[in-house]
Every structure is written in C-alpha cells, then in structure tokens.
Amino acid sequence: MTFYDSTGRAVAYTEDNENIYLYSGDPVGYLYGNLVYSYKGTQLGRFENGWIRDKRGDCAFFTEAARGDGPTKPVKQVKPVKGLKKLMPIKGIRHVPFLKTVDSLSWSSLSDERFFLQ
C-alpha cells in the first residue's frame, strides 16, 4: 500500500500493512489498529478509509483505496524506486492515544516526510 501526499507524490509505503517505510528505505512508523505511531511510541495520527490524518484531523496522506470525506486528491505521480530497507528500530512504549478529532476536508501542513518526524 502506497501513501501519497497532497501533491500526489508517493512518500511512504507498507508491504505488511503494519510497518511504514519511506522510499529511501528508512522505517518511520507503524500501524496499530487504526492509529499511526512512530517507533518512539508517539502517536502521529490515524488511518481510516484510506486516509492518514494528523492529530488535528487534517489529511496528511491518501492511498488508492481512499474514500469518504477528504480534500480533492491530486493526480498520482510515478512511484520512486524503493531503496534498500534499513533495520527496523525497536518499538517504544506507545503513548496514550489522543482523542479523535473531527475529520477535516483540508490537507495537513505535514503532508510529506515531516509527518513521520514529529
């Protein structure tokens, strides 16, 4: 599954529906239920209906299966070549999830690699 940003650029992907990698091969997060976490244990957002939303409910990424309310999806760009996967870090203790926010029809200001560096 590929995660596209607000410009249609393929930024990250998952091959096992859990661990998320940038196309450089860097492991940057993972899915736990419908939540997105960094390997440090920080909740980055949530994943629902093919959209990754940030903590405010704004859309950071979309997948090909994205449906429902969200901003207009841009035309998808050609996917880059995947780099060699780097070693996955040990998962930190997950922080308590934040309260679910109202879904927004806007793009997040973190609709790129910065989303995973929070």
Torsion of CA 88, 92, 96, 99, to 10 degrees: -30
Instruction: Return the pLDDT at 118.
Output: 84
Instruction: Return the pLDDT at 69.
Output: 87
Domain borders along the chain are 1-118
Which one, of 33, 16, 12, lies nearest residue 111 by Cα? 12
Q: Which residues of the chain have pLDDT under 70?
A: none
Instruction: Return the pLDDT at 68.
Output: 86
Instruction: Return the pLDDT at 36.
Output: 98
Instruction: Return the pLDDT at 62.
Output: 97
67 close to 59: Cβ distance less than 8 angstroms:
no
Tell me the backbone φ, ψ of residue 94, rounded to 5 degrees. Answer: -70, 130
* Count of alpha carbons within 13 angstroms of residue 80, beta-carbon side: 16
**Region at 49 (left for phi over 0; alpha for psi -120 to 50; beta for the rest):** left
Q: Cβ of 28: how many Cβ atoms within 10 Å? A: 20
